[in-house]
Amino acid sequence: MRVWTTILGFVVFLGGIWGCSQRERLNPLDPNNPETGGRPTGLWVVSEKHEVTLSWDPLSLEGVLGYNVYRRQEGEEAFRIVDFASAESSSFQDPDLPYDQRVAYRISAVASEYESPLSDSVSITPGPNNYWMVDYYSGVIARLTYDGLHTFFQTQQTLLPVAVAADSTTGTAWIVDAIGYLVRISDDGQPLLWIDGLTDPAHVALDPLGGVVWVSDDSRTCIARYDTMGNLLGLTEGFGEISDISWVEQSGGCWVADVEGKDVVFVSSSGDREVEVEEVFEYPRAISYYPSGEWLWVADSLRLARVWNDGTTEEVVTLNQLVLSVSADQTTGDCWVIIATGDEDENAVLKISANGEVLTRVEGFYFAQSLVANGFNGGCLVADTGNGRIVRVSQDGDVLGSLGDFYGPWDVAIE
């Protein structure tokens, strides 16, 4: 009898709100609706440090009183109600959640004598930082959540974005566009500043403390320094072909890898070439500075080397495969790298300890262009360009998830 009462109440609820049977089939809470199955839709979730924001498509239907919000935290077996949102609401903020613990959500629509089936679930892992990504082929710029699986936004404010540097103090980012622009983007995807006059920019590094933006320009033969208002502070010229740059927090200067000149150069905050490491490297393709140890990781052809602040060098490990990209873990000094596996377009991602031990290896990447280490969790985020996805890798080399909404992600940066 109770089952029949529930069914009768549901039918009366639908009929009272929508009237005729033809319109019923189009209603979002009609179980026969082929798109919704009678459940609320459009759930979207992001996290900002300890707080998660959940949103959904609102229902403009007479008789709907609101929404029950269900949550299941990591380690819990079932969803439980944590909030009731009014009918006018389309979002819910969940504060004070622990870092690195996955949390899932579902919602239902509530009427006076009826609760709809639960929506599909969405889940997210909160953490202390976020990421930025640029997609060279589509022109898309995106700000990503800590777990790398959700976007705050995707925007197309530039044409050919090739590099990004994120500002953790403001939540903004600096984008280099290959056609000759340096652009600052707000945390909601709006352009705050356009700087033109560049020739062929390829790399960008940010000094948030000194308010300086470093850009490789002019067919990668010089370094330009700008303040955060867009004023040119100076140029450092004389490079053959700049392959990478890396900012040094302690001094405000910048290391520069010159692949054509086969050297690595430290440029001071005033633009002077203070340290030059020559006749040591064969093909310094990528660099990344580790501030606590005061050394620079250098990807030099088939090997990883270390350069100390005074220019002293040492070989750390030879990998016998071309090292394409490098990113230092800012907490431990370990290093994540992308290597070519036979065919240069097929890649693996390795984690190398500070003393040269290969800690983990992850296969399955294609034409991967960039990666960035996350010192908080010991893992990294990879721009798997050829597969059109962003991949999050744990400190142990487990793939924790991927986001495949992109055409060709080119560069990633941690905020």
The half-sphere exposure of 167 on its side-chain side, counting CA atoms within 13 A, is 20
Q: What proportion of the chain, given as a percentage, has pLDDT over 90?
A: 85
pLDDT > 50? residue 67: yes
> Global pTM?
0.90
Instruction: Give the confidence band of 26 by pLDDT, cuts at 50, 70, 90.
Output: low
* Homologous superfamily of the 2-124 domain (CATH): Immunoglobulins (2.60.40.10)
**Nearest C-alpha neighbor of 45 from the set 129, 112, 106:** 106
pLDDT > 90? residue 16: no
Q: What proportion of the chain, given as a percentage, has pLDDT over 70?
A: 91
Contacts for 131 with CB less than 8 Å, ≥ 6 apart: 143, 144, 145, 146, 148, 166, 372, 381, 390, 412, 413, 414, 415
Average the pLDDT over 372-379 and give the result: 98
pLDDT digits over 276-287, tens only? 999 999 999 999
Contact 70, 105 (CB under 8 A): yes
Q: What is the mean pLDDT of the chain?
A: 92
Contact 216, 236 (CB under 8 A): no
Which residue ranges does the chain devote to CATH 2.60.40.10?
Answer: 2-124
Structure tokens at 387: 């597969």
Higher pLDDT, 196 or 6: 196
Which residue ranges does the chain devote to CATH 2.130.10.10?
Answer: 131-414
Contact 292, 330 (CB under 8 A): yes
Structure tokens at 371: 């990666």
Q: State the residue for tokens 């949103």.
A: 55
Contact 343, 364 (CB under 8 A): no
pLDDT digits over 81-136, tens only? 999 999 999 999 999 999 999 999 999 999 888 899 999 999 999 999 999 999 99
- Domain spanning 131-414, CATH class: mainly beta
Contact 336, 350 (CB under 8 A): yes
What dihedral do alpha carbons 183, 136, 267, 378 form, nearest 10°? 110
pLDDT > 80? residue 63: yes
Q: What is the pLDDT of residue 36?
A: 64
